[in-house]
Structure 1
């Protein structure tokens, strides 16, 4: 008895289409491991922006990140960011689209921007350091991030 694979019920795209799709994703997204490696180099070539609110920032953020809540991007980005330097945004994690909204706001202002997949949640899960201004962030319980 043969059954069709649910994975292959929709066949894979032709290779040329797959190349275009995956190349486009990499133009818009990066991941925790690549951000960590770039920051460790001392010259990452981008500014890392935490788009969460102050309460979430105070619980824990990536060392070296710039705090710029999404709601403040239209009024503060030009004072804080060089439009010639790429920006990488992050928010809470995969269940939150705050980094996507922040990236969109920055792109609308003309900034070259990528989103860090996984956010602070996966930064912590992968054992990377955080800076806090209060109680330590628990990676398994997301605070209201205000994004």
Structure 2
């Protein structure tokens, strides 16, 4: 009987040792896998001196509140339609108004009637001491083209993308243009 007990005890020890070995191998494999995993923590897009509307939309989708969008077109054009949340700062008042209402270190996206007007406004802001100014390439038209959120008098009448999936309406619009 003692021989059977001894054999059972030896078998139990071997099983325990085997389980410990397997456990250690699995733990080592997991640790090795973790050490070799690429960094997957997403990071928000950074600020560039010339930015696309996609760059701006990406930052908005990240929910970053620490930037300002400036529309330097005339007030009537701004009122007709602009990027949602943009501030109106006509180019002739731009530097004075920006200095009185924005921190020099604030991230600023600026757009005008043309890319040239945008570049000129951005240059004025940089010369006035604003450190992080991005020219929004394509301006309001490019923003609307990607379905960015808009507001204004005209924009409230025809929300962006209202007929995007209405095939009948789009076909009628195209037929009336012919």
Which band: TM-score by shorter chain?
0.5 to 0.7
- Secondary structure of residue in 2 paired with 1:48: strand
Alignment of 1:1-147 (within 5 A): 27-93=48-114, 96-112=115-131, 113-132=133-152, 134-136=153-155
8 Å Cα contact 1:70-1:105 kept in structure 2:
no
- The offset of 1:119, in angstroms, is 0.5
Extract unaligned runs of 5+ from structure 1.
1-25, 139-147
Aligned Cα RMSD in Å?
A: 2.1
8 Å Cα contact 1:92-1:121 kept in structure 2:
no
TM-score, normalisation: structure 2: 0.56
- Residues of 2 paired with 1:42 and 1:126: CA distance? 18
- The offset of 1:106, in angstroms, is 0.4
- The offset of 1:127, in angstroms, is 1.6
Higher relative contact order structure (alpha carbons within 8 Å, sequence separation ≥ 6): 1
- Secondary structure of residue in 2 paired with 1:104: helix
Paired positions, count: 110
TM-score, normalisation: structure 1: 0.67
- Residues of 1 paired with 2:127 and 2:140: CA distance? 24
Tell which structure's C-alpha radius of gyration is larger.
2
Equivalence for 1:142: none
